[in-house]
Amino acid sequence: MTRETTDILIAGAGIAGLTAAACFGQAGYRVTLAAPAPPRRDKTQGDQRSTAFLDPAIALFSEAGLWARLAPHAQPLQELHITDTTGWPPRTRDSRAFRSDAPGTPPLAQNLMNWRIADVLLNALESLPNVALHWGAGFASMVTREREALVRLTDDSSLRARLVIGADGRDSAVRETAGITAEISRFGQKALAFSVTHPEPHRDISTEVYNQGGPFTLIPLPDEDGTPTSAVVWMNPGPEALRLQALDAEAFSAEATTRSAGLLGPLTLASPRAVFPIITLRSRALTAQRTALIAEAAHVIPPIGAQGLNTSLNDLAALLKSATPDALGSRQHLDRYENSRARDVAARVAAIGFYNRLTRSGLPPLQSLRLSGLKAVADLPPLRRAVMKAGMGG
Ligand SMILES: Cc1cc2nc3c(=O)[nH]c(=O)nc-3n(C[C@H](O)[C@H](O)[C@H](O)COP(=O)(O)OP(=O)(O)OC[C@H]3O[C@@H](n4cnc5c(N)ncnc54)[C@H](O)[C@@H]3O)c2cc1C
């Protein structure tokens, strides 16, 4: 049995775990990243979600020297449109545009495919000599003491670390081993994530189209072979999402076109379709002795308003900022992290969960409330500014 020593053990190689390894590695810490398998880094097998990164996430990537590598694959989002529809086929009742008020300001967000992000991050990690990538073994268990954690992996190897970062997703084994419980709400919905091509240009506009079952969101991607392309997140009750996933490509493209209210012309499916269950999850604490939870190990948010991974990268920025080489993983370090993140995480999980309940409903009174809410947020400048600031990671 090997027993290595490292500063930080990161469990999980989703975007959050990979980014954590790159940021702490760049900062000079010795990092071991362990996961059952490396993420797929190609278009057909990789993660079909995209992420619209907001300013704080871009700042984190820039500080770690990663944004210059990601930027060539990013598509700027200049405006967010919210379109409220009713009936079937959907009839547009109202639409509002959200954009930055000040001229010359940067885009609202930058959108990239997740498989592409994983590829760029893995390339960066492979060139960091102080980061060890331990594939084929997940986190199994640990014993913590005041000065260190002794971690056992699923291949029976073990190592000592001053800090264990649980980035091992919504069913986090680190969270469970640390004895941290989580509040979970299930909505009976699933999100389909896929890409489409379309004849109309997206003009760097992301559009959330509301009807019932949850939003249908078009998010601009770079053109593919000169053809306008968008990522799509389509939320539905679970059985309906599975029915749509099983349709042949032509029938699926036709239904997606109808659901999009024809905004970009006929849509053509251009990728596999991945399905994700929609839940909210909030862990009751972000830390335990020598342990910090980040990202979906700590919170899961429905995919509305590009909040999930952006919130996760805010966790990482706070954990990094509150670390010092001497105090890494100490109670002081972890308290600073917990205090700086707990309120924001709780607020975002509650707000997006509530918004999802409101917007998925097909009941006329709730659809009217949704429309009134949209108008109030869009048309009252102080409310509009407050919502945009919160949505942009402020
Ligand atoms: C359809 C959809 C669209 C989205 N769009 C956006 C968006 O535009 N903007 C945004 O900010 N967010 C978005 N999100 C949210 C975002 O995609 C997720 O929050 C994010 O990808 C989750 O990353 P993660 O690294 O926390 O978890 P995961 O990607 O689930 O990674 C967890 C990792 O842990 C590994 N693992 C599991 N068990 C163990 C173990 N025992 N030991 C070690 N490793 C283990 C897994 O193999 C995996 O590699 C979206 C989500 C969905 C569903």
Q: What's the CA angle centered on 296, arms 292 and 301, to 5 degrees?
A: 130
34 lines ligand 1 (CB under 6 A): yes
Q: Which amino acid is at 147?
A: R
Convert the pLDDT of each residue in 188-201 to its tens digit: 999 999 999 999 99
Only one residue has tokens 């990789």, namely: 46
**Is 302's C-beta closer than 6 angstroms to any atom of ligand 1?**
no
DSSP, res 307 = -
**Pocket lining: 12 vs ligand 1, CB cutoff 6 Å:** yes
User: What local confidence, expressed as pLDDT, does residue 223 receive?
Assistant: 96
Please tell me the distance from the alpha carbon of residue 6 to that of residue 290, in angstroms, as a whole number: 13
Q: Ligand 1 centre and the CA of 90: distance in Å?
A: 32
Q: How many CB atoms lie within 10 A of CB 52?
A: 26
Mean pLDDT of all residues in 263-287: 97
Q: How far apart are CA 284 and CA 175, in angstroms?
A: 10
- Ligand 1 centre and the CA of 356: distance in Å? 19
Residue owning the nearest CA to atom 11 of ligand 1? 309
In this structure, the strands spanning 274-283 and 299-300 are antiparallel
pLDDT band at 389 (very low <50, low <70, confident <90, very high): low
Q: What gap in Å lies between CA 225 and CA 270, rounded to an integer?
A: 12
Q: What is the pLDDT of residue 390?
A: 58
User: Are the C-beta atoms of residues 318 and 21 closer than 8 Å to each other?
Assistant: no
> Is residue 180 scored above 90 in pLDDT?
yes
Q: 52 CB less than 6 Å from ligand 1?
A: yes
User: What distance lies between CA 80 and its chain's CA centroid?
Assistant: 18
Query: Mean pLDDT highest for which of 87-101, 186-200, 345-359?
Result: 186-200
233 lines ligand 1 (CB under 6 A): yes
pLDDT at 120 over 50: yes
User: How far is residue 32's CA from residue 137's CA, in Å, rounded to a whole number?
Assistant: 12
Rounded to whole angstroms, the Cα distance separating 89 from 392 reads: 32
Distance CA 366, CA 361 (A): 6
User: Which ligand 1 atom is at minimum distance from the Cα of 57?
Assistant: 11
Letter for the amino acid at 306? A
Domain regions of the chain by residue span: 3-44+116-184+281-356, 70-112+186-278+361-391
> 297-325: per-residue pLDDT in tens?
999 999 887 788 999 999 999 999 999 99
Q: CATH top-level class for 70-112+186-278+361-391?
A: alpha beta
Kindly report, residue by residue over 213-269, the tens digit of the pLDDT: 888 999 999 999 999 999 999 999 999 999 999 999 999 999 999 999 999 999 999
355/156: higher pLDDT = 156
Cα–Cα nearest to 264, from 211, 203, 191, 194: 203
Distance CA 72, CA 67 (A): 9
| CATH, domain 3-44+116-184+281-356, list 3.60.70.12, 3.90.550.10, 3.40.50.11540, 3.50.50.60 | 3.50.50.60
CB 175 within 8 A of CB 169: no
Alpha carbon nearest to ligand 1 atom 4, residue: 303
Distance 114 CA to ligand 1 centre (A): 10
Examine the pLDDT at 1 and tell me if it is beyond 50.
no
Q: For residues 114 and 119, what is the distance between their CA atoms, to the nearest angstrom?
A: 9
Q: pLDDT band for 343, please (50, 70, 90 cuts).
A: very high
pLDDT at 376: 63
CA atoms within 13 A on the CB side of 296: 21
45 close to 122: Cβ distance less than 8 angstroms: no
Pocket test for ligand 1, best of 10, 15, 164 (most atoms within 8 A of CB): 15
In the block, which residue shows the tokens 């992000």? 117
Residue whose pair of structure tokens reads 């800090």 in the numeric block: 163
Q: pLDDT band at residue 381, thresholds of 50, 70 and 90?
A: low
131 in helix, strand or coil? Answer: strand
Compute, in angstroms, the gap from residue 53 CA to the centroid of ligand 1: 14
Q: Of all residues in the chain, what percent carry a pLDDT higher than 90?
A: 76
Where are the alpha helices (H) located in the chain, listed in sequence order?
15-26, 55-63, 67-70, 114-126, 173-177, 238-246, 249-259, 308-321, 331-360, 364-379, 381-391
Compute the mean pLDDT over every residue in the chain, rounded to the nearest whole number. 91
Are the beta carbons of 242 and 133 closer than 8 angstroms?
A: no
- pLDDT value, residue 68: 97
Cα 186 to Cα 163, 213, 350: the distances in Å are: 32, 14, 13
Does the beta carbon of 194 sit less than 6 angstroms from any atom of ligand 1?
Answer: no
Residue 229 exposure: Cα atoms within 13 Å on the Cβ side: 20
User: Alpha carbon of 268 to those of 22, 124, 133, 193, 355: distances in Å?
Assistant: 36, 34, 38, 14, 29
Which residue, 119, 132, 129, 122, is CA-closest to 10? 132
